[in-house]
A = this chain, B = another copy of it.
């Protein structure tokens, strides 16, 4: 894929981008024959303005296309009404959907929302410092589903309003989380109940710096197997996407003893499905495959994977609401809002007849 052309060739025009500076409150005031404070009052919907004056000002505002300078407003008033979302990614469904929560909720509440994607290269402390600076008077939501997010979260100063959507019972800040461990327990029990002897697991990367096996989903599986008296086989692979699942799936497909595979998310499950298909192993006939997250396309692939439904959007929205409480009332809500994931049985898992 290449950039193939230019619409209009020829010498570059130096159109001096109409340096028509945005009109200020003062110009509007002059045009309306009032002081600039009165304009401020009208702009802010202050009641104490005579109707006739208000009309004159409104006319002038319309004429100039006046739009209050956001920086000046923020500086003078001290209120920013801005939230910055820190996330290591914005494209995979879990992230995009979680991001959608604060975006919607913030918009509805009149906050502006910024996004800063965290990369392994940048220094989390610096990134957080920048976000903090931008958020003066506002706050930060961090999507702490992975190492990068967790690292950023850990570096947010205690006095900066911040909430997070995390995978595990969170650090000492207001946060929202889904009980992944319980969900993984339920999924594993579901599979054991279907007659499977054990449940191999294809892992997503762990949120903290710890071993993958300590991640909530991995841990939930471990618990369920243990209490059924089964020694949990170690997790396979580590990744987020279908190619990673495909790789792990190829490995697992070689083992004829494998009758079911639990995956850390739906994209992994998709890759595993594909690998099983290539290896000539029928799903769910020979092998059952089950994922997490209920990505939007999940219900439409064949066989549709059994999955664990997660309300990421709700999670994100709740994170913003928690943040807003802090920003607007100086009240630090101690709650950890917990979301309960839900098992959605579909075609890819079935009762073991053997």
Q: Name A residues whose Cβ lies closer than 8 Å to a Cβ of B.
A: 1-8, 10, 12-20, 22, 65, 67-72, 74-75, 80, 90-91, 93, 96-97, 99-100, 103-104, 107, 112-117, 129-130, 132-134, 136, 157-159, 161, 169, 179, 241-243, 245-246, 267, 270-271, 273-274, 277, 295-297, 299-302, 309-311, 314, 318, 326, 330-342
Contact = CB atoms under 8 A, between A and B. Distances in A.
Contact of A340 (B2, B99, B158): B2
A60 B222 CA distance: 50
Nearest to A301: B301
A33 B36 CA distance: 38
Best-buried of A130, A245, A334 by chain B (most CB within 10 Å):
A334
Best-buried of A114, A115, A341 by chain B (most CB within 10 Å):
A115
A307 B61 CA distance: 50
14 contacts: A1-B309, A1-B341, A2-B340, A3-B337, A13-B332, A13-B334, A67-B130, A71-B71, A90-B103, A96-B96, A113-B114, A241-B296, A242-B296, A242-B300
A130 B65 CA distance: 12
A336 B6 CA distance: 5
B91 A333 contact: no
A69 B22 CA distance: 22
Contacts of A67: 129-130, 132-133
A254 to B, nearest CB: 19
B117 A104 contact: yes
Contacts of A333: 12
A310 B2 CA distance: 11
Contacts of A103: 90, 115, 117
Given A242-B299, A297-B267, A330-B16, A68 B104 contact: no
Given A6-B336, A7-B336, A12-B331, 4 more contacts: A3-B318, A7-B335, A18-B159, A107-B117
A265 to B, nearest CB: 11
Contacts of A7: 169, 334-336, 338
B107 A134 contact: no
A161 B3 CA distance: 22
A124 to B, nearest CB: 14
Nearest to A119: B107
A71 B65 contact: no
Contacts of A310: 1
